[in-house]
A and B are shown apart, each in its own frame.
Chain A
Amino acid sequence: MVVVRLPTGVVSLRSSREAGRNVLRALKHSIRSLEPARGSGTIPFGIAPIDHALGGGLARAALHEVAAAGESAITAATQFALGVAAHAQEPRAVVWIAEEMGLIENGAPYGPGLDDLGLRPERLVTVAAAKPRDVLGAMEEALRCRAVAVVIGEIRSARLDLVASRRLSLAAGHRDVCAFLLRTAPGTDASAAATRWTVTGARSRANAAGPGPARLSVLLTRNRHGPVGSWLVEWNRVERRFDLAPSVSQPVADAARDRPHRAPAFGA
């Protein structure tokens, strides 16, 4: 039950413009006090423009929607979510809840790959649910657990109503757990998520030795507390975090295959 206390004088029938403004201000204030405190914790990206847009980083006690641009880009979306979440509140667990069919179609999380990403596989608990409904139920359950740092729910283009996302947001705020909703396609429905992202793969700085570090094109389509934007980020394998990709995607010149100027050094 929410009781909004209105400023006195509102009840009088002489409702002027000033009084209306007062009501609005009061309502805004009381709504703000109902919401989970912002800035209780953020997960910084380490990328200045993104962190700036988000106000310091990804809010921890909130729901974030990360959608792949298409089903084939789901691994890119997965890496984006995991890459951000991997270092949040170690050694608490990461719970990954997905539809069973999704794990079969798109592949299940692979331990050595997670390890490359910096997420220790022993922290991960995977749940294969039969129905999207079970995914949401299990997510809410996991969000209420103290021992969990991040909950990732994967949904395959199922509709998600506002009530569900609202429930998940509240549950995330309740225990200071970060919730990600991975979707195989950008959702068009209303959502209570703090941020919504659309992620797809981008051509890496490939050379003759093969593909370079993973590059993702991320689009922040909704941000409750700041501006939206789009960035091209690159995975930094050494520091295990995302960097802003250099603007030139192809190397200016191929690295020389044989380096003749070195030869005399060896011969000398």
Chain B
Amino acid sequence: MRLATDRIARQRSAPDPRPLVVTGRRGNIERLTAVDAAAAALGLRLGLALAEARARYPDLAVVAEDAADDRRLLDGIADWCQRYTPLLAVDPPDGLLLDIAGCAHLYGGEERLLADLLARIGGFGFAARAAIASTIGAAFAAARFGDAGIVAPGKERTMLAPLPMAALRLPEDTVAALRRVGLKRIGDILDLPRAPLAARFGDDVLRQLARALGTEREPLTPLLPVAAYVAEQSFSEPIAREEDVLHVIARLAARLEPVLERCGEGARCIELALFRTDGAVRRIVVATSRSVRDPSDVRALYVERLASLADALDPGFGFDLARLSVLAAEPCPPEQIGLGERADDADLDRLIDRLSARLGARRVMRLVANDSHIPEVAAAAVPAQADIARENGWAAFRRFRNGVALSPRPLRLLGKPEPIEAIATVPDGPPVRFRWRRAFQEVVAADGPERIEGAWWSEEGGPARDYFRVEDKAGLRFWVFRAGLYRLTAQPQWFLHGTFA
């Protein structure tokens, strides 16, 4: 309820003593959508028309609402709340749902967790209410309409009974319809016969009631997928130095190693989440080309990754929690110790991972052969970490190449054929002179043409190309082609596509 006003108060450079209200257009009237504590103390309620509020208290600070900014803030807080549990969902416009099953003992019990959460959020300058209950519906009702705190299991019914109908998360018109027949509190419908209630007000009422009471399961859709393997470490004294961070990474990886080993898996994609004391969360992901488990490998990857960060790792006042999660795992057979080729392969993969982490995955590439006669498609560079880089088609390519007498291919191919101005003596013949990058090349010998047709099934295949291997006076050899035939095109265009030694 205070999210928007708290956001504005936090962004202000100087405190403003006036009561703050946030307004937005509802229907055709500017109404209050958020009020701060001072405004609430004056008796201003949500939904009040701004004109009326101003008439009562002329000295109000009024700010227009910004739903997108509020959402961003809520997402940020949700990110920060990941320190309590990986399973959490955003409940717009101003709520968060945390599934803390199995997490509370880490903080010494539910009371302590709740106190810790409220103290920290309060420290950031947010007014928050929180409740713990066995169901999402009960926790929602307790936090927003009830006394907050902890609802003991089995006490949902007594807790819900005195609360207004809106606490059931029902649409406004349903709440209004219920109120019209005198059903104002949840207690009023708890013992009513189900069938007439459903017939008159729809299934929603019963479903939400059952969900709040826990007789029907309600799934939580988490914000982020939950990693299969997670290790985390919180620090009583925040850490800030990069060496310390790397040390922690190695320690967390060492904790993950036996777990991964037991499951016979290794990590292909690892995320490091660093929780800064001021609430910001930094996530750094590294990917690998083969599954890794070894803590020193993981550490080595982060050494490269941290060194290459575009914006340096800004620790602010330090990180008080670090979490290493394995986002993608893959079966990883136990490593054999040996001096054979396999060890070499692993070494090369490690090199590829390190270079990819430092320079970026799309900069480290391997060549794969494709089944195509179009030169630029026949061989492609793919990121070396990708799985397709392993199933390169070169063996098939060589089988084909040995069977067909194909003319030589250039050693270096330009990414895009470059237009040249060429003069040919006879139509369909090789050029005798051409200009490439402003330099004239006098052709002394030419070989060709090798005709390569465009793909008939594709519009982009383009016209047929006649390739020539030409040598100039200086002893440089080029691969040039004419796009289109003279008898089909009036003035075919020439291109240079690659160079031979």
Q: Which residues of A contact B (CB under 8 A)?
A: 72-76, 78-80, 82-83, 91-93, 95, 100, 103-104, 106-117, 120-122, 124-130, 134, 137-138, 141-142, 145-148, 200-204, 206-207, 209-212, 214-217, 235, 237
Identity of the chain B residue whose Cβ is nearest the Cβ of A82 in the assembled complex: B411
Identity of the chain B residue whose Cβ is nearest the Cβ of A210 in the assembled complex: B447
Cα distance, A82 to B411, chains bound together (Å): 10
- The reply to whether A145 and B347 contact each other, CB–CB distance below 8 Å, is yes
Cα distance, A107 to B375, chains bound together (Å): 13
Q: Summarize A's interface: helix, strand, loop or mixed.
A: mixed
Identify B412's interface contact among A113, A121, A124, A206, CB under 8 A: A113
- The reply to whether B365 and A127 contact each other, CB–CB distance below 8 Å, is yes
Q: Which residues of B contact A138 (CB under 8 A)?
A: 355, 358-359
Given A75-B499, A112-B375, A113-B413; 14 other pairs, CB 8 A cutoff = A74-B412, A74-B499, A75-B500, A109-B411, A112-B378, A113-B408, A113-B500, A115-B409, A121-B392, A126-B367, A127-B359, A130-B359, A141-B355, A203-B474
Give chain B interface residues in 131-145, CB to chain A under 8 Å: none
Closest beta carbon of chain B to A233's beta carbon, Å: 11
- State whether A206 and B445 are in contact (beta carbons under 8 Å apart), knowing that A115-B394, A201-B501 are contacts in the complex: yes
Closest beta carbon of chain B to A83's beta carbon, Å: 8
- State whether A211 and B501 are in contact (beta carbons under 8 Å apart), knowing that A82-B411, A111-B378 are contacts in the complex: no
- The reply to whether B474 and A201 contact each other, CB–CB distance below 8 Å, is yes
How many residue pairs bridge A and B at CB < 8 Å? 195
B469 sits at the interface (CB 8 A): yes
B162 sits at the interface (CB 8 A): no
Cα distance, A75 to B471, chains bound together (Å): 13
- The reply to whether A211 and B352 contact each other, CB–CB distance below 8 Å, is no
Q: Which residues of B contact A126 (CB under 8 A)?
A: 364-367, 381
Q: Which residues of A contact B476 (CB under 8 A)?
A: 72-73, 75-76, 201
- The reply to whether B369 and A121 contact each other, CB–CB distance below 8 Å, is yes
- State whether A104 and B415 are in contact (beta carbons under 8 Å apart), knowing that A121-B379, A145-B347, A201-B475 are contacts in the complex: yes
Closest beta carbon of chain B to A6's beta carbon, Å: 41
Closest beta carbon of chain B to A230's beta carbon, Å: 15
State the interface size on chain B (CB cutoff 8 A).
Answer: 58
Q: Map CB proximity to A onto B327-369 as digits: 1 under 8 Å, 0 otherwise.
A: 0000000000000010111111011101100110001111111
26 A-B contacts (beta carbon < 8 Å): A75-B499, A83-B501, A92-B344, A103-B415, A107-B412, A107-B413, A107-B498, A108-B415, A111-B397, A113-B411, A115-B409, A121-B392, A125-B352, A125-B366, A127-B359, A127-B364, A129-B363, A130-B359, A147-B344, A147-B351, A200-B475, A210-B445, A210-B447, A211-B445, A211-B446, A216-B501
Q: Map CB proximity to A onto B462-501 as digits: 1 under 8 Å, 0 otherwise.
A: 0000000111011111000000000000000000001111
Residue among B343, B379, B384, B412 with most chain A CB within 10 A: B412
Closest beta carbon of chain A to B227's beta carbon, Å: 29
Closest beta carbon of chain A to B91's beta carbon, Å: 43
Cα distance, A108 to B363, chains bound together (Å): 13
Q: Map CB proximity to A onto B433-453 as digits: 1 under 8 Å, 0 otherwise.
A: 000000100001111100000
- The reply to whether A203 and B475 contact each other, CB–CB distance below 8 Å, is yes
Identify A100's interface contact among B347, B363, B439, CB under 8 A: B363
B423 sits at the interface (CB 8 A): no
Cα distance, A211 to B407, chains bound together (Å): 12
Cα distance, A215 to B500, chains bound together (Å): 11
